[in-house]
């Protein structure tokens, strides 16, 4: 099964995956997160056109409590 | 007879400070870490009167899909969100964290901290300067957490940081202001706001920082770690206001000997 690295861990995907589908699957809201694929930030406007491919390294971050 | 209300005092004059082009009334900046839950975080932030809150940048929890988000409790329209680079030990990590934070969409104000040592959490001065240089060029409004060293603070200003944030004492130590004389020099030389960041333990520490003439105080543990965080949030709000007003009012000089408060003439006998 093809996988990507999602936030440091292997994550199985069926094949090429739309970024918006992944975000939906993870129940994240676009206004709360930022995405990096293979160390490149994905601007919000590019989300609809972004395709994640097997082997990609995907980071999705949000804000948590901190000082 | 003159009425008391005719005398205008410093407390009636508008006293705001500017940070990266925005004006703020509250001089207390609070962190959002170490609280029991988001509801307590929000209650403490509200009670503190803070308009700027710091947050950390971390990976989204993939396994817990129902997890609430901090921003659901702290509306970015109401609060200026100040993402930090806590946990970064290199300039590269800090720069990457800031770029990601900005992409969330809450503005380009960032609290830059590059830690040099895990035990003291003192900043890596060289790496902080290096990261600040890159971030300022990329349009970030950088607020660096830094050692209470006047020369380093000057360098960070020259680079274009919108504030300097010297520490009072190690993060979370509650030791209070360890070097008021260095802070006084930093404040005197600064052309940008000076925010004392880290080390405050209780209200008097916050008041002392403000009495020295700082523009603001940033704290997290002193509030979140108190037995009653909500009450401490209010205490800190009052202390920052009191300290600021005392600074503006202009304290008396310290003297070795007494000066009578009552007239020395007209004594009986």
Per-residue pLDDT tens for B27-67? 999 999 999 999 999 999 999 999 999 999 999 998 887 78
Asked if A63 lies within 8 A of B220 by C-beta distance, the reply is no
- Tell me the per-residue pLDDT of B188-238, one tens digit each, with 9 for 90 and over: 999 999 999 999 999 999 999 999 999 999 999 999 999 999 999 999 999
- For the complex shown, is ipTM > 0.90? yes
Active site annotation includes B111: yes
| B140 close to B96: Cβ distance less than 8 angstroms | no
B81 contact residues in A (CB cutoff 8 A): 63
Q: Considering all CA atoms of chain A, what is the largest pairwise distance in Å, rounded to the nearest integer?
A: 41
Residue A29 has φ and ψ, to the nearest 5°, of -105, 135
Q: Would the pLDDT of B1 be above 80?
A: no
- Give residue B12's pLDDT: 79
CA–CA gap between residue A32 and residue A63 (Å, rounded):
7
Chain B partners of A42 at a C-beta cutoff of 8 Å? 103
How many Å apart are CA A59 and CA B17, to the nearest integer?
Answer: 36
- Supply the pTM of this predicted model: 0.93
Which residue of B60, B87, B99, B224 is the best one to mutate when testing the A interface, meaning the one whose CB has the most A CBs within 10 A? Answer: B60
- The closest CB to that of B70, out of A44, A65, A67, belongs to A65
Half-sphere exposure of B59 (CA within 13 A, CB side): 11
Q: Residue B30's closest chain A neighbor by CA?
A: A67
* Count of beta carbons in the 10 Å neighbourhood of residue B36: 10
User: Does the distance separating the beta carbons of B71 and A59 come in below 8 Å?
Assistant: no
Q: Answer yes or no: are the C-beta atoms of B196 and B175 closer than 8 Å.
A: no
* Contact B57/A at CB under 8 A: yes
Residues A31, B105: C-beta atoms closer than 8 Å: yes
Q: How far is Cα A37 from Cα B6, in angstroms, rounded to an integer?
A: 64
Locate tokens 């988000």: which residue?
B69
């Amino acid at each position: 099964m093809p996988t990507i690295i999602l936030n440091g861990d292997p994550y199985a995907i069926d094949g090429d995956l739309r970024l918006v589908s992944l975000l939906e699957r993870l129940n994240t809201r676009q206004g709360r997160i930022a995405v990096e694929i293979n160390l490149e930030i994905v601007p919000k406007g590019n989300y609809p056109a972004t395709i994640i491919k097997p082997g990609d390294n995907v980071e999705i971050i949000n804000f948590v409590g901190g000082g | 007879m003159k009425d008391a209300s005719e005398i205008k005092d410093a407390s009636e004059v508008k006293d705001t400070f500017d940070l990266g082009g925005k004006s703020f009334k509250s001089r207390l900046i609070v962190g959002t870490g170490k609280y029991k839950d988001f509801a307590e975080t929000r209650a403490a932030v509200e009670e503190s009167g803070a308009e700027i809150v710091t947050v950390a940048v971390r990976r989204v929890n993939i396994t817990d899909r129902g997890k609430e988000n901090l921003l659901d409790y702290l509306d970015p329209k109401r609060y200026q969100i100040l993402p930090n680079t806590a946990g970064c030990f290199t300039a590269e990590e800090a720069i990457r964290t800031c770029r990601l934070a900005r992409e969330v969409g809450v503005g380009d104000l960032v609290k830059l901290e590059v830690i040099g040592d895990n035990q003291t959490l003192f900043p890596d001065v060289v790496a902080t300067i290096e990261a600040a240089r890159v971030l300022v060029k990329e349009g970030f409004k950088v607020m660096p957490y830094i050692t209470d060293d006047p020369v380093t603070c000057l360098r960070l200003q020259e680079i274009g940081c919108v504030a300097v944030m010297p520490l009072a004492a190690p993060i979370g130590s509650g030791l209070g202001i360890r070097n008021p004389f260095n802070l006084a020099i930093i404040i005197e030389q600064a052309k940008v706001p000076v925010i004392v960041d880290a080390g405050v333990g209780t209200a008097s520490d916050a008041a002392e920082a403000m009495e020295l003439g700082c523009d603001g105080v940033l704290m997290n543990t002193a509030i979140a770690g108190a037995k009653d965080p909500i009450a401490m949030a209010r205490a800190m709000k009052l202390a920052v206001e009191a300290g600021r007003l005392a600074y503006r009012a202009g304290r008396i000089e310290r003297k070795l000997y007494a000066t009578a408060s009552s007239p020395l003439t007209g004594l009986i006998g």
